[in-house]
Structure 1
């Protein structure tokens, strides 16, 4: 093998006209994925459920093969598309017939914040890091949990937030990045703090951090949203 053989690196044994076939194959793959999204009735990727994302990835893998490999014919990929579409229709029908099956496939909305506090038993069951969840809250204009009356984790992973009116906002756990939200296992000065795990606010004195009465954790941050 000769290093930096441009013929091998760029086209190998294929003729230059094969590039036109690759473009056509890519067009077919694009149209198949686009057709699935249109037929399934979804308007955006953010709206895709876990099940639909699996279908799209499976179709995308097949579409990628047909786009790049000369020995992959087009008709089997069309069969793959039709099979996935039928599976999608059957699964959505079963989800309508059986809510329990639908919840198993797609999950269901979960209340994750209530009255400025985490529903920590729900939060602990979800595979979501606190930094990732705090980012979602910041992008919605939230500075601390005391602003949130109700937070719902939707089926697609997005967070729906219902805020208190200004007069009802209470003290809450800051959702700022760690550099702007120091956490303490020893209380440096007397103030109102919020449990770093569940958001429970409590006025603490200087000294070793007590256990949170709500979740038994011992890590606290200064609360936001009220006079200290």
Structure 2
């Protein structure tokens, strides 16, 4: 085999006119995917549940194969799309009548912040990290967790945030990027400090250092009482 053979790299063993067939196959799969999305509704990617993402991935695999493999017939792919559309409708109908099935396929909302403190144990049990949630909270205008009464990770991956009124804001962990926040293993002065991992708040005296009783993390940042800027 000759290296850097442009003809082999571009077409391999297929004839040039096969490119026209690829265009037709691509149009065919585009129409099938379009019709499927029209049937299932106009939901964005971030609004999709785990079950819906699985359906879309299966569709994408079928569509990709038929688009450019000359040995993949087109009619069986149509059957795949019809079957998945029927399965989707059936599962949606069953979930509307069974809360247990809905929880199994869609998942349950997860509380990630409760009364100004990260629900760290719950995140651990769900195999989630706090860093991605901090990013989402920052996008919601949150500077420190004491501003948040309740934050819920919905089944579609979005976060619903319920804020404290300004007068009720608590001391909390600053969730700005680490480059914007000083961290200490030995605190410089007496004050309230927040564990940078689990957000637990403790009062320390100057030059004191200890592991977090909640998560054994050694690093702390000074707790903030900043109110939201709206």
Q: How does 1:28-43 map to 2 (within 5 A)?
A: 28-43=28-43
Go from structure 1 to structure 2 and tell me whether the alpha carbon gap of 1:78 and 1:216 turns closer, same or farther (over 3 Å shift): closer
1:93 matched to 2:93? yes
2:11 aligned residue:
11
Distance apart, 1:124 and its partner CA = 1.5
Indicate yes or no: 2:168 matched with 1:168: yes
Tell me the SS of whatever aligns to 1:82. Answer: helix
Q: Contact 1:151–1:161 at 8 Å: present in 2 too? A: yes
Asked if 1:200 is matched to 2:203, the reply is no
Q: For 1:197 and 1:204, how far apart are their aligned partners in 2?
A: 17
Say whether 1:21 aligns with 2:21: yes
Alignment check: 8 A CA contact 1:42 1:48 kept? no
Does the Cα contact within 8 Å between 2:197 and 2:215 map onto a contact in 1? no
Q: Could you tell which deviates more after superposition, 67-76 or 188-197?
A: 188-197
Distance in 2, Cα, partners of 1:174 & 1:184: 14
Q: Look up the SS of the partner of 2:96 in the other structure.
A: helix
The number of residues matched between the two structures is: 226
Deviation at 1:198, TM superposition (A): 3.2
Q: Does 1:74 align with 2:96?
A: no
Measure the CA separation in 2 of the matches of 1:211 and 1:14: 65
What are the within-5 Å matches in structure 2 for residues 97-136 of structure 1? 97-136=97-136
Pick closer, same or farther for the CA change 1:36–1:127 going to 2, 3 Å. farther
Secondary structure of 2:111 counterpart: strand
Deviates more, 1:197-206 or 1:48-57: 197-206
Aligned to 2:61: 61
Distance 1:112 1:2, change over 3 A: closer
TM-superposed deviation, 1:209: 2.9
**How far, CA to CA, are the matches of 1:36 and 1:51 in structure 2?**
15
Taking structure 2 as the reference length, what is the TM-score of the superposition? Answer: 0.90
Alpha-carbon distance in 1 for matches of 2:62, 2:181: 46
Alignment match, 1:188: 188
Higher mean alpha-carbon deviation, 74-83 vs 174-183, is at: 174-183
Which region of structure 1 is more displaced relative to structure 2, 79-88 or 173-182? 173-182
Question: How far apart in 2 are the matches of 1:198 and 1:185?
Answer: 15
Structure 1 stretch displaced more, 83-92 or 215-224: 215-224
Structure 2: runs of 5 or more not aligned: none
